[in-house]
Homo-oligomer: A and B are copies of this chain.
């Protein structure tokens, strides 16, 4: 957490609350919490990848999503240092002004993005699953991991995340047949932290044997 996290959050929330005064907010900083299933909810991570932001000045993102009664309607990820905006409504996704096309390859021909703690302790069976891929990569920002899925650089993403870490990404990858759920198969709950995964839904059956 930095002062800048809070400043960015306040700036964005002021805009939302001015334009949509009836809407609710679920955001990382300052304990701004609201039940995702209750009405119109904006989900904000003002700076995702804070350690990267501080140390690297790269590989961090601003993430914003909009949900209605728990259904994702808008997702936005800004890859700040590359100045690329990924945005979509759950049925199509754009990188700046170009619509993204994406077809996931089989896991065996792919790399996966992982939380390094889960990987090394085999939490959720992630280490076992990783052996079915070409290898793992670790970037340190959920937002940039979702960007890497959209860019076709990783096949899926496995981490221990809060709602603002996955709310926007889940909407952006949905048009390409991706599902975001808990590693054990339960749905997202949009509170606290869970071990979650974002993977091509038509390959779920193949990976279930490794996950727990």
Where the two chains meet, the residues of A that have a C-beta atom closer than 8 Å to any C-beta of B are 51-52, 55-56, 58-59, 109-111, 116, 119-120, 127, 134-140, 151-154
Q: Which residues of B contact A51 (CB under 8 A)?
A: 111, 134-135
On whether A56 and B153 interact (CB within 8 A), knowing A111-B51, A116-B135, the answer reads yes
CB-based nearest B residue for A56: B153
B140 touches A111 (CB 8 A): yes
Q: How far is the CA of A126 from the CA of B136 in the complex (A)?
A: 17
Q: Which residues of B contact A109 (CB under 8 A)?
A: 55
B116 touches A136 (CB 8 A): yes
CB-based nearest B residue for A122: B120
Interface residues of A: mostly helix, strand, loop or mixed? mixed
Q: Which residues of B contact A140 (CB under 8 A)?
A: 111, 135, 137
CB-based nearest B residue for A134: B51
Q: How far is the CA of A134 from the CA of B58 in the complex (A)?
A: 15
Output the least CB separation between A126 and chain B (Å): 11
Further 13 A-B residue pairs, CB within 8 A, beyond A116-B135, A120-B127: A52-B111, A55-B109, A55-B111, A56-B151, A56-B153, A56-B154, A58-B153, A59-B153, A120-B120, A137-B138, A137-B139, A137-B140, A138-B138
Q: How far is the CA of A58 from the CA of B137 in the complex (A)?
A: 13
Q: Which residues of B contact A139 (CB under 8 A)?
A: 137
Output the least CB separation between A143 and chain B (Å): 15
